Structures are given as structure tokens and as C-alpha cells.
Chain A
Amino acid sequence: MLIKVRDVKKIYEVGIQKIEAVAGIDLEIDRNEYVAIMGPSGSGKSTFMNLLGCLDTPSAGDYWLNGKEVSNLSDDELARIRNREIGFVFQTFNLLPRATAAQNVELPLIYGGISADERRDRAAEVLESVGLTDRAKHRPNELSGGQRQRVAIARAMVNRPSIILADEPTGNLDSKTGIEIMSLFDTIHAAGNTIVMVTHEEHIADYAKRVIRLLDGKIEEDIRTD
């Protein structure tokens, strides 16, 4: 089992109010699954993704990633897990504006301590796999939205993570570009990677092989579609 989550909760305290953004989730995700998480706004999708991505630790419950308990790690250990096990794809791309496509892709490798030569080779390799070899030296503002998201996907892939987490990866793209990105995800999935993606759109969720619907921080429905 790649991901195993037991009764995980995330509670935010705002003033005297307690918000259960994630209100007790049990979930298992296997290697090479392709999961879409859906649900209305405020249902806790992003909060849950942040927990899965080790950007945050749960208020209660347990989380095993790759057989390792990660719910109580220190900041540095979490950073290490994020670097090696997780590839993030964001709605707003989150590329560094001053860095070229290749430099953006190299970032996780830098924090992984990979030498400059190997970084260059691996960045070139993943950029090729997303079809952007000729854009390697371009900065984000010289790229289209779809190209930027492909750079971001390349960056998420470059450290060969255990899981790719995408929070509304097509949210800022037009539908045609969104479909291009989804077919890229299909290819990545076909190559054996595990993908968990948050989306609002049914036709995007259709690409996934499993759809989990959240409501008020709980799983309402969990359907396999393959």
C-alpha cells in the first residue's frame, strides 16, 4: 500500500470557532492508482491534499506513506519526504518567475543534493518527456499557460516521486489546453506513476480511474471507474 490514512483530521481554530476541514478520513491508495478527489468548495479537498503532500501534519489520525509513518515528523523530515516522495502540481503553476524552465525543473534536484551535471541531464530528460526541449531556456513569462503547467509537471516528475499530487491542475487553463494536460497525465500514469488530483470538473475527473467525493471533510463516495 502506497498511502494509508487512518481517521485523519485537520482542525483549524479561528478565534473560538473550530473548523474541521478534514473530519476523519480513512483511505488507502495503491501504487499506480489514478485518483480524482471531488467535492463542493470548502469540503476540505485542498486541506486533505496538503496532508497527503506532507505540507502539513494532521491534528489527529495516522498517515503512512510508503510504509513509513509520517504524521508526526519534524519540519526537516517533512521537507525531505516532500523532496523525494512527492511531486506537486499547482493550479497556478508556481514556477519561479526569474528562473528558466530548466532551472525550475532542477529545483527539487538541488534540494535533493544532486550534482549539477546530473541535474542538467535529468531536467533535459523530463522536459523532453513533456515536449518542451525547445523551451528549456525560456522563462515562465515567455511560455503559454499550458507550457507552464507542463514545466510544472516536469518539475514534479524530475525526482521520480512516489506520488504526484495535483490541486486543480487545469483550473487556470482553457478547456482545450486542459485536455492536453490531462492526456499528459494519462501518459505519466501509463508509465507506472501514482496520481492524486483535485478537480471540480466531471470531464476532468473522468480521466481518473477512481473518484473520491468529499463533503464536509468526510468521504461521501469512493468509486472505481476502470
Chain B
Amino acid sequence: MSAGTTGIDPRDKKGQVWTENFRQALEVIRTHRMRSWLLIVGVAIGVTTVLAMVTVMSGLGKRIQSDIVSADRPYLFISRFDPMGGGQDRRDLLRRKQLTIRDVKFLEENCASCEKLDLQIDPQGRMRVLRYEGERTNLIQVVGATHNMGHMYSISIEYGRFFTEFETDRSRRVIVLGYGPAKDLFPNRDPIGKWIKIGNHRYEVVGTMASRESVLGSISENYAVIPFTTYEKDLGYRFDDYQIGITIKPEFELEEGVDEVHALMRASRKLGPGEVNDFYITTSEGFKEMLGSILTYIGLVLVVISSIGLMVGGIGVMNIMLISVTERTREVGVRMALGARRNDIMQQFLIEAATLTGAGGMLGIFLGLLTARGVAKLISFPYSVPIIWIIIAFVFSASIGLIFGLYPANRAARMDPIKALHYE
């Protein structure tokens, strides 16, 4: 046996060539700094966009959810019909009996799982201006509610208090201002005990709400609440919509609450067997889910759009690899003459391409998270690093190198060693 045919473990070979190919890739990136960096930055920009988008979207999503469904405890929400449901005749739905305080009282007396109940009158977009001495608010919503509303939506009071049951029963002209109108009317003064005007009626300010620091901004702060009895007396309008909010006692499951409320509501509304419900129950959980799925869709669309940037990076890597393969034709010939198999050559260029885009990916991940954190600070929402997306971003950008590097690498691997060796 000749000295050249020493036994070699083929598994060993793989490792050696792989290491060499990776070392080679780093070497090439080092020697072609300019061109490599341009590509890396190109891919990085793509990844940054996608990742910043995803991070902001998921953070924003959580925040929007918690802002819209702002309650510490899950709650039920009864309206006359499904606010999101289409398909039914709107006029027919609007003819349904309003929900009333009698329904609330009936539930209060009979519902074992209900903790607190609130009747709310939604002015359906009708806006009003609040005035105090020379100051006035923008157009804001004034809603009617029971004393339980504050508790139900975990409204935090900055000054004063929420109005009481007593005040509701007596239809007192008391008002709780949202953060927006409170700032507008009482920039530097204590608002408590002051009398503001809505139209010709005067209301005593008993409390103001704390800022919610919401992404929805002023929308969720620009409103005021008065007792629903007072509302009916002063501001009532025939198109107002009545809704009932209920929190469920902690010892009950949300579903149990839904079932009980459903049965009691049918009784309260005196629906016979076989008659369809003339009310609709939503839960905060269902609402959250629905919001979540809408946000996921929006996010997905944004990701798809921003991935187009990554495709451009892919074409860039293909171009650079084609140049690289042509430039190194002779090297390919030499390697083949020295014993590189076609797959070894293929692997070499694929690793090079994947290293380039993978490096771009890592830079992009870094910049993307930085961007996301900046945006998060700016509009104050919880900045969460989605680990899975970091992994996806890296794998995806490396795969772009592999996919777009395939054609150039294959071209190198299929070279005729003799021609390659004599390439000028």
C-alpha cells in the first residue's frame, strides 16, 4: 500500500472541510471589505425593518389590547346586538328594546356569579363642549354610567373620587372628568368642587382621572362621566345606546358567569322558549382575542411587505457571489486539483453567501431591536423582545444567502478543473 492511501475517516473529512470553508468565508469578507459591507448593510436594513416592525407590532398589540380592554378582572358586556356582527338587518336590531336599569337590578338580585354591574349610556358619537369660566374643552364624549363604572374599567382617579350610588339615585349633577378635559379646564387649579357647564346645565366636578399613558393617546382620555340618571334627565337622546357591564366574582369561571347572565337576561327580557335573544353578550377575553387576531393579520401583512427588502438583499448576494465565483475560477481549479469534490466547492460558496447574509441578519437584529426600543420609548408601550423572531430573522437571512447563493455556488461546483486551472 502506498503512503497516500492511509485510511481516513470520512466523517472526519466533513468537519475539516466545513471549518476550512467557514474560515475561507470570513477571509473573503475580510479581503473584500467594501463589497461585503455593502451587502451586509443591505441585508441588515431589510432585517431591521422586519424586526422593528414585528417588535413594535407585538408590543403595540399588547398595549392596544390592554388599553381598549382595560380592566384588571375579566368582564362581560351586554349590548342589544353584536357590535362586530354583520349580516343582520340593522334597522331590525335597532328596534330591539333598550337595556334598562331594570335589567341591571334584576341581575343584581338574582345573579350569583356577578360581582358588580354597571349600566352605561353611550352617546353614539355625539360630542359636547365643557366650559369653566374662560376655558373650554374640545368636543368630547360625555357618557352616563353607574357608580360602578370606575371599578369595572379600573379607572384610576387622580383627584377627588368617583360619584356614588347615592348621587346616581338622586340624579345629582356631578361629573368625573377624564385626564384631557381636566387639564383643559383646570390647567393650574384644583378642579374639585368647581362647577363646570355643559350646555346650560351646571355640574360639580367630584373627581378627575389619572392619565392612562395610552397609545391611543387623548382618545381614551377625552371623555367625562356623569350618573346615567342625570344623563337621561339632561342629555338623553333617543338614539343613545344602553350597555351593561358585569364583573364576575373571582370564584366563578368567566363561562359560568356568561351562562348565568344569559339565562337571567332571557328571564328579565321575558323571552319565551324558542324566541331569539334580543341582547348580545361579549366577554373581555373574546374582545381581546378578536383584537389580537386583527393585529396579527396587520402585522403579517407588514412583515410580508418589508420582506421584499430582504429579497433585494438576496439578489445582491447572488450578484456578489457570481462575481466572486468568476474572480476565483482559478482557485476553484486548484482546489479541485488538490482533491476538493464538487460538493466541497458548492459548500464553500454557500457558506460564504450564508455568512454574508447571516452577518447582515445579526447586524439587522441588533439595529432592529434598537429601533424598536426607540419607538417603544417614544410612544410608551411595553418593549418586548420576541426571541422567536430573533431566531427567525437570523435563520431567514442566512437562508436567503443559501437560496440566492445556490446558483453561483452550483456554477463554481460544475466547473471543469482543467479549464478552471487555466482561466486568465
- Which A residues have a C-beta under 8 Å from some C-beta of B? 50, 53, 55-56, 66, 75-76, 79-80, 82-85, 88, 90, 94-96, 98-99, 107-116, 155, 159-162
Contacts and interface: CB of A to CB of B under 8 A. Distances in A.
B157 interface: no
B16 A115 contact: yes
A96 B330 CA distance: 9
Contacts of B15: 113
B249 to A, nearest CB: 69
Contact of A50 (B12, B335, B339, B418): B418
Contacts of A83: 338-339
Contact of A113 (B9, B335, B342, B418): B9
B290 interface: no
11 contacts: A55-B421, A79-B341, A80-B341, A82-B337, A83-B339, A85-B5, A98-B27, A110-B17, A111-B17, A111-B339, A114-B8
Contacts of B12: 113, 115
Contact of B340 (A79, A109, A115): A79
Contact of A94 (B13, B14, B344, B421): B421
A11 to B, nearest CB: 15
Interface residues of B, number: 36
B336 interface: yes
Contacts of A161: 4
A168 B274 CA distance: 102
A76 B2 contact: no
A30 B17 CA distance: 33
Task: Report whether over half of chain B's contact residues are helix, strand or loop; otherwise say mixed.
Answer: helix
Interface in B1-53: 2-6, 8-10, 12-17, 19-20, 27-28, 31
Contacts of A75: 341-342
Contact of A96 (B10, B13, B334, B339): B334
Interface of B: 2-6, 8-10, 12-17, 19-20, 27-28, 31, 330-331, 333-344, 417-418, 421
A134 to B, nearest CB: 23
A164 to B, nearest CB: 11
B108 to A, nearest CB: 80
Given A53-B337, A79-B340, A82-B337, A111 B4 contact: no
Given A113-B14, A160-B4, 5 more contacts: A56-B418, A76-B343, A85-B2, A96-B334, A115-B16
A128 B6 CA distance: 22
Contacts of B331: 96
Task: Give the residue among B31, B330, B334 with the most A Cβ atoms within 10 A.
Answer: B334
Nearest to A165: B337
Nearest to A83: B339
Contact of A76 (B14, B330, B341): B341
B4 A107 contact: no
Given A112-B13, A162-B4, A80 B339 contact: yes
A109 B13 CA distance: 9
B339 A112 contact: yes
A10 to B, nearest CB: 11
Contacts of A116: 16, 19
Given A76-B342, A96-B334, A111-B339, A90 B421 contact: yes
B148 to A, nearest CB: 75
